[in-house]
């Protein structure tokens, strides 16, 4: 008999040798009570029932989640779309829901940048969560999405789907696509015109209603930087702008999406005003009361009690005109803005003749500009009552003025009568006529005044300098070690630095320093490292900052100043990259980039600044004209919340080509490694048939002005680049943000590594001097200069320790061989090198303090302050933030692991606090219960226990061949946040202290299992053994090596071990552990048949 609640199932089963009976069609995940009674076939009577036995059925398939809610929204702060998804537990979970799987599909129909209707699909991305809500960020806008959600029980069988739909709101085009235009000046029948190249913008983000082209006549002595943002500039009529010296903005052309011209001529006296579609969204007006932005009036108005009278008075050099009419009080100018609403005010229309008459401006009538709200635009009538009409007027240009301009694109919003405007940045200025060659009398007078002022300032400056030099030279101290008088030049340098804290330009003839032999690099590094890097500081200050035979006129030219990211980073004229001159436009051949020669001039580099929004087109022009095939990018797009480089390649997610002027770039593929990304791009140029392939190597882990902590990453990066390089591929383009610090360091290392290989010596100081003679400030900071020494020192000491997958087995076998006459094999010698690695002293002040000493199992294994796990303080408990645990970097250089000691009785609560606060989902336990003298304690409950405010409930466990898997539910009772934690206890470790497993298979399977779980969840993976040292470090090292072998088809056991030892005490502390890593990774390669795979770049 089987019973559960009010259910009762009975069965009669004839006696057989095998007494087994199965109940079918039971409810899933339900505990039944079973009992048996024996019956006599003759008497038909049954005996007493047996004692009840409980049995629980397996989990089944969950029903669909209830009340699925899907919201597609747009975030104004991050300027991106996202989907918010919520649901409730299934009505019939049929078990314990372990997680929810979510799948997202999207489809969009739009007009692409070729004017054709295109269909784009998104997804299906899928992910899992353990809560009842989730959010997916960075989704494409203007897309219809279908979301499917189902629960997964312990049976791992997907449940039934709940399906929801939403549409991502329309938004404006990407800023990059808004700026993909160029213009130049041409001459036609004696008249000067502007020719604007206006590529069609993809309507992927939303359907475009209208394009509006604005021209801005710049006032004398004013530049683009003096203008307000395009969306805040006042707009006037063409006649007003050209009647006042103050200039201003006016509408020159309008086009709808269907009638767009790719080449527009401005200043030709002919205007296009679009058609019916464009007219729907072109009548945009500010609110009449209260106005968001009052306009500068062209018309003087006088208001009577009942009637409205408008008097227009115009004075020109030839004529005077007066007209009177009935008009509204609204201004006859307009302003571009992001928020407009329909006007409901009615008034009689004003008739103002502006053909020959230009109204005078009454300054007292101008009102203050107010800030605009960033919301949508509402449609108004094009010719509504009382609304002035700003029709486009592309009149002739003023040949004595500079012009700039911008583009407004108006997108149909998601709601009826809603429009969204977007604006390009300003065009680079062009002169309306022939470039002036002479100087006017007024300008000559101004120049004379400036010269006199400069002469007086120069005399005062010289007097101050002579006084300062005299005082500095008189009181300069002798050098501490060499007992030499510091020269006048160096004394003044130190004075300037102490006063301003900035690096001063120093022209000098640097000394010719002798090269350092390969065997002396370690000693040279140590000597310069003494006394807080005094030797490095002294040597770095001798580097020249400028040269008498180098000039920077092109960088300092007025038309090129805005093309420089940093005002002090300029191009030498003698080595700069010269672009093809565009239509004779002055400065169009300039880009902030220099040719730099490598070792023995075998390799040529182009060192450039990271492109800006206004120089991306020039950047791609340089790539095309110089026939470049390799790009090395050493910066992230943003660092320290500042933009370091504009994104000059298309997104991988959407796969749409991007236009940069007349060059189109397409994303082909990309591959991500531990510290760099390799992207393959394809570029084509308008009018050219051939397509070119560009490969970009993007190094991810190098911050500005500093140096990487470990040299092996950049050395490996240089090796990958050299494997891909050949002379046929032309120069290598290298850029960071400024194109001098990180860029110069990489070029210097590449040259010096070749010199080290060929000559057995390096001339570090002389090489950097030669590089600075080709581009200023290469190797910009002291830390970068020291890093070059350290990288070369480590290469000289350790060599290249990478092993490819096909050579792994044979190379490890050779490492085990002992050469004749030697006591140790090569593998033992490598381990000795690792043990003697020079590391800067790291502080352990928190873990080593008296108040935390009782929380450590061993005084020899204490976490470093820099990467220790810090717990949330507990009210009323002092020193409650400490636990003996360290964050450890994984393959991808993130804090993928936490290594900790086995919990003590007094630290079990802290252990579970760490699990909860760090969102841990996987624990790897490498100890056995009551193991030897270390007295390991069981830190989990049989059922449910509270550890402080952390409640831990045991769910279930299962035994596997090499380990036991347990599952817990961890609840933070303060925040009501819970999660499922899986614990893997490995049983294959020898009981003898210091021994390593003889068989590697068990640990390999455990690594595979935990890495699979880690992909599905977020947060670090916790590994613990007795002291949190030897066993834990072997597991973490093997995990990193497995990932490296999978992704790169290479391993570097030496470097992985060396880096691991720098992050926590006691890591890989014996040769037996080091040898085990070699044995395990070879077995892993054989098990997964990776030996035949070629390494990837």
> 3-state DSSP call for residue 126?
strand
| Burial of 869 from C-beta contacts in 10 A (0-12 / 13-18 / 19+) | buried
Determine contact, residues 913/880, Cβ cutoff 8 Å: no
Instruction: Choose the catalytic residue: 210, 736, 769, 969.
Output: 736
Partners of residue 265 on adjacent β-strands = 195
Question: Can you tell me the distance from the alpha carbon of 194 to that of 1060, in angstroms, rounded to the nearest whole number?
Answer: 62
- Per residue in 218-242, pLDDT (tens digit) is 998 888 989 999 988 988 888 889 9
For the CA atoms of 314, 315, 316, 322, what is the dihedral angle to 10 degrees?
50
**Annotation marks residue 736 as catalytic:** yes
- Per residue in 855-889, pLDDT (tens digit) is 999 999 999 999 999 999 998 888 899 999 999 99
- Per residue in 278-287, pLDDT (tens digit) is 777 765 443 3
Question: Can you tell me the distance from the alpha carbon of 669 to that of 681, in angstroms, rounded to the nearest whole number?
Answer: 7
- Per residue in 979-1008, pLDDT (tens digit) is 999 999 999 898 777 789 999 999 999 999
Rounded to an integer, the average pLDDT of 245-271 is: 86
Question: Can you tell me the distance from the alpha carbon of 686 to that of 661, in angstroms, rounded to the nearest whole number?
Answer: 9
**Annotation marks residue 1025 as catalytic:** yes
Question: Can you tell me the distance from the alpha carbon of 694 to that of 663, in angstroms, rounded to the nearest whole number?
Answer: 13
Question: Can you tell me the distance from the alpha carbon of 953 to that of 941, in angstroms, rounded to the nearest whole number?
Answer: 7
Q: In percent, how much of the chain has pLDDT > 90?
A: 52
- Per residue in 500-548, pLDDT (tens digit) is 333 444 445 788 899 999 999 999 999 999 988 999 999 999 999 889 9
For the entire predicted model, the pTM comes to 0.59
Q: Which residue has the higher pLDDT, 453 or 1024?
A: 1024
1014 prior amide bond cis, ω within 30 = no
Assess whether pLDDT exceeds 50 at residue 1013: yes
The upper half-sphere exposure of residue 3, i.e. CA atoms within 13 Å in the direction of its Cβ, equals 8
Assess whether pLDDT exceeds 50 at residue 304: no
| Burial of 1070 from C-beta contacts in 10 A (0-12 / 13-18 / 19+) | middle
State the pairing for strand pair 1021-1025/922-925: parallel
What confidence score (pLDDT) does residue 1017 get? 67
Rounded to an integer, the average pLDDT of 905-931 is: 91
Assess whether pLDDT exceeds 50 at residue 291: no
State the pairing for strand pair 630-633/53-56: unpaired
Least confident of 88-92, 322-326, 1012-1016: 322-326
What confidence score (pLDDT) does residue 285 get? 43
Assess whether pLDDT exceeds 80 at residue 30: yes
Token duo for residue 1008: 């595979």
Task: Give me the DSSP letters along 817-873.
Answer: ---TT-SS-HHHHHHHHHHT--------TTTTSGGGGGG-S-TT----GGGEEEPPP
Assess whether pLDDT exceeds 90 at residue 157: no
Determine contact, residues 122/139, Cβ cutoff 8 Å: yes
- Per residue in 841-860, pLDDT (tens digit) is 899 999 999 999 999 999 99
Assess whether pLDDT exceeds 80 at residue 591: yes
- Per residue in 313-348, pLDDT (tens digit) is 333 333 333 333 333 333 334 445 443 333 333 333
Determine contact, residues 746/617, Cβ cutoff 8 Å: no
What confidence score (pLDDT) does residue 338 get? 41
- Mean pLDDT, the chain, rounded, equals 83
Rounded to an integer, the average pLDDT of 621-641 is: 94
State the pairing for strand pair 732-735/604-608: parallel
Assess whether pLDDT exceeds 60 at residue 93: yes
What confidence score (pLDDT) does residue 934 get? 58
- Per residue in 696-732, pLDDT (tens digit) is 999 999 987 778 888 999 999 999 999 999 988 999 9
Determine contact, residues 410/419, Cβ cutoff 8 Å: yes
Confidence band, pLDDT 50/70/90 cuts, at residue 1069: very high
What confidence score (pLDDT) does residue 155 get? 82
Assess whether pLDDT exceeds 90 at residue 785: yes
What confidence score (pLDDT) does residue 877 get? 86
């Amino acid at each position: 008999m089987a019973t559960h609640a009010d259910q009762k199932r009975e069965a009669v089963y004839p006696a057989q040798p095998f007494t087994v009976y199965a109940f079918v069609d039971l409810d899933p995940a339900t505990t039944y009570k079973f009992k048996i009674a024996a019956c006599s076939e003759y008497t038909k009577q049954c005996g007493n029932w047996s004692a009840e036995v409980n049995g629980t059925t397996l989990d089944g398939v969950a029903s669909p989640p209830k009340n699925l809610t899907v919201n597609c929204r747009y975030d104004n702060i991050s300027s991106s779309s996202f989907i918010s998804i919520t649901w409730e537990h299934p009505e019939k979970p049929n078990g314990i829901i372990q997680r929810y799987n979510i799948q997202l599909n999207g489809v969009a129909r739009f007009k692409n940048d070729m004017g054709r209707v295109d269909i784009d699909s998104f997804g299906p991305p899928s992910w899992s969560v353990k809560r009842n809500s989730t959010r997916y960020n960075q989704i494409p806008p203007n897309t219809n999405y279908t979301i499917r959600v189902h629960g997964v029980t312990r049976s791992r069988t997907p449940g039934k789907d709940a399906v929801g739909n939403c549409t991502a709101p329309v938004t404006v085009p990407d800023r990059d696509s808004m700026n993909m235009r160029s213009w130049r000046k041409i001459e036609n029948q004696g008249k000067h015109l502007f020719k604007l190249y206006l590529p069609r913008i993809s309507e992927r983000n939303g359907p475009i209603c209208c394009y509006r082209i604005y021209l801005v006549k710049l006032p004398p002595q004013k530049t683009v930087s003096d203008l307000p943002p395009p969306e805040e500039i006042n707009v006037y009529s063409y006649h007003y702008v050209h009647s006042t010296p103050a200039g201003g903005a006016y509408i020159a052309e309008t086009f709808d999406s269907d009638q767009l011209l790719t080449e527009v001529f401005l200043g030709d006296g002919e205007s296009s005003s679009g058609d019916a579609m464009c007219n729907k969204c072109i009548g945009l007006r500010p609110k009449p009361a209260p106005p968001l932005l009052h306009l500068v009036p062209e018309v003087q108005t006088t208001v009577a009690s009942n009637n409205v009278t408008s008097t227009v008075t115009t004075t020109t050099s030839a004529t005077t005109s007066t007209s009177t009419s009935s008009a509204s009080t609204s201004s006859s100018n307009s302003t571009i803005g992001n928020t407009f609403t329909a006007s409901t005010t009615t008034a009689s229309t004003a008739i103002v003749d502006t053909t020959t008459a230009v109204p005078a401006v009454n300054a007292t009538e101008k009102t203050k500009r107010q800030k605009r709200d960033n919301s949508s635009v509402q449609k108004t009538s094009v010719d509504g009552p009382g609304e002035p009409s700003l029709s486009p007027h592309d009149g002739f240009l003023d040949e004595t003025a500079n012009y700039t301009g911008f583009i407004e694109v108006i997108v149909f919003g998601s709601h009826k009568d809603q429009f969204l405007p977007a604006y390009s940045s300003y065009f680079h200025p062009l002169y309306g006529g022939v470039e002036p060659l002479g100087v006017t009398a007024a300008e000559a007078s101004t120049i004379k005044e400036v010269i006199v002022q400069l002469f007086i300032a120069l005399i005062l400056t010289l007097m101050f300098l002579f006084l300062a030099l005299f005082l500095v030279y008189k009181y300069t101290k002798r050098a501490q070690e060499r007992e030499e008088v510091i020269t006048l030049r160096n004394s003044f340098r130190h004075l300037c630095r102490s006063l301003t804290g900035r690096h001063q330009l120093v022209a000098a003839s640097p000394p010719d320093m002798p090269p350092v032999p390969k065997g002396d690099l370690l000693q040279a590094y140590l000597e310069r490292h003494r006394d807080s890097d005094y030797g490095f500081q002294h040597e770095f200050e001798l580097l020249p900052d400028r040269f008498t035979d180098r000039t920077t006129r092109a960088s300092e030219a007025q038309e090129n100043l805005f093309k420089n990211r940093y005002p002090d980073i300029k191009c030498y004229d003698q080595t700069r990259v010269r672009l093809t001159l565009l239509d004779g436009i002055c400065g169009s051949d300039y880009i902030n980039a220099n040719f730099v020669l490598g070792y023995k001039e075998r390799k040529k580099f182009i060192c450039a600044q990271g492109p800006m929004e206004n120089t991306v087109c020039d950047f791609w022009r340089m790539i095309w004209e110089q026939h470049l095939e390799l790009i090395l990018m050493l910066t992230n797009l943003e660092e320290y919340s500042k933009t370091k480089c504009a994104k000059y390649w298309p997104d991988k997610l959407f796969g749409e080509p991007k236009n940069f002027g007349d060059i189109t770039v397409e994303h082909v593929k990309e591959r991500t490694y531990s510290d760099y990304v390799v992207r393959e791009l394809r570029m084509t140029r308008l009018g050219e048939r051939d397509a070119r392939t560009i490969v970009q190597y993007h190094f991810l882990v190098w911050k500005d002005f500093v140096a990487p902590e470990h040299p092996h990453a950049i050395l490996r990066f240089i090796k990958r680049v050299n494997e891909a390089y050949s002379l046929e591929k032309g120069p290598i383009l290298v850029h960071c943000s400024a194109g001098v610090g990180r860029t110069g360091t990489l070029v210097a290392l590449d040259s010096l590594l070749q010199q080290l290989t060929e000559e057995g010596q390096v001339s570090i100081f002389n090489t950097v001097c030669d590089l600075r003679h080709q581009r200023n400030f290469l190797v910009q900071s002291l830390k970068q200069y020291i890093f070059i020494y350290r990288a070369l020192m480590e290469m000289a000491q350790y060599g290249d320790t990478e092993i490819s997958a096909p050579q792994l087995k044979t190379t490890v076998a050779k490492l085990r061989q002992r050469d004749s006459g030697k006591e140790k094999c090569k593998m033992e010698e490598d381990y000795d090198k690792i043990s003697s690695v020079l590391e800067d002293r790291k502080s352990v002040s928190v873990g080593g303090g008296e108040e935390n000493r009782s929380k450590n199992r061993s005084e020899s294994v204490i976490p470093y302050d820099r990467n220790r796990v810090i717990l949330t303080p507990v009210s009323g408990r002092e020193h409650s933030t400490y636990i003996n645990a360290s964050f450890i970097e994984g393959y991808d250089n993130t804090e993928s692991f936490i290594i900790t000691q086995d919990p003590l009785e007094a630290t079990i609560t802290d252990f579970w606090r760490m699990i909860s606060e760090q969102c841990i989902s996987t624990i790897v336990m490498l100890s056995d219960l009551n193991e030897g003298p270390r007295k390991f304690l069981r830190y989990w409950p049989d059922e449910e226990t509270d550890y402080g405010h952390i409640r831990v409930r045991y769910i279930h466990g299962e035994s596997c061949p090499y380990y036991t898997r347990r599952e817990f539910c961890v609840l933070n009772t303060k925040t009501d946040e819970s999660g499922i934690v899986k614990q893997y206890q490995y049983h294959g470790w020898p009981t003898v202290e210091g021994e390593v497993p003889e068989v590697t298979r068990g640990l390999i399977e455990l690594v595979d299992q935990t890495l699979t779980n880690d992909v599905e969840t977020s947060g670090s993976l916790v590994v613990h053994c007795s002291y949190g040292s030897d066993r834990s470090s072997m597991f973490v090292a093997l995990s990193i090596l497995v990932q490296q072998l999978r992704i790169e088809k290479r391993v570097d056991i030496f470097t992985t071990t060396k880096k691991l030892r720098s992050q926590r005490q006691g890591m890989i502390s014996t040769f037996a552990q080091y040898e085990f890593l070699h044995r395990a990774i070879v077995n892993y390669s054989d098990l997964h048949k990776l030996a035949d795979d070629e390494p990837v770049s």
